[in-house]
Structure 1
């Protein structure tokens, strides 16, 4: 079972983008990507919201997320969020990996 977490970081004066850039430049994002159970860790920038960054964070089960939350990297992330004065919202989804086609399948181009 995979768990998808969408984190939206919002700041002022480009701070959300600077946060994501520092996460990448410092190697922190790369370390998270190498954590056991991490399946995806990517930042995106919405066209319509210049002060927002979206993080797509996908993990192989809750135990992987728990290990990540207990890691020293969470302290680094918290410090950077404070440094850039970011506010966040979180959405969490358990992915359907049953392999059973859905009614949406006809709209998806593979």
Structure 2
């Protein structure tokens, strides 16, 4: 494939990925608004009289009341047993050699 075709294909892929991010990523409108891109599809709409619009929409078909049933938070044991296949023995080991000869008194490395 020629270089110009590769560049065009790469640019198309980047544009499609950016459009998908702007459309489907939940935080995209805020990021686009911070960057000053308010003309994009995913950008936040200008704040208007949304409360007044909501009241008018609610009064159109009568009052809308939603019942919410919630339980207090509690603790529970999901898995009380752990099963593993194999052992806790490592597959490989590392030999540590100091730069100078002598006794290695302390090794400042933690597991993880």
- TM bracket (short chain): under 0.3
Q: TM-score, normalised by structure 2?
A: 0.19
Pick 1 or 2: higher relative contact order, CA cutoff 8 A, min separation 6.
1
Larger radius of gyration: 2
Higher strand share: 1
Q: TM-score, normalised by structure 1?
A: 0.20
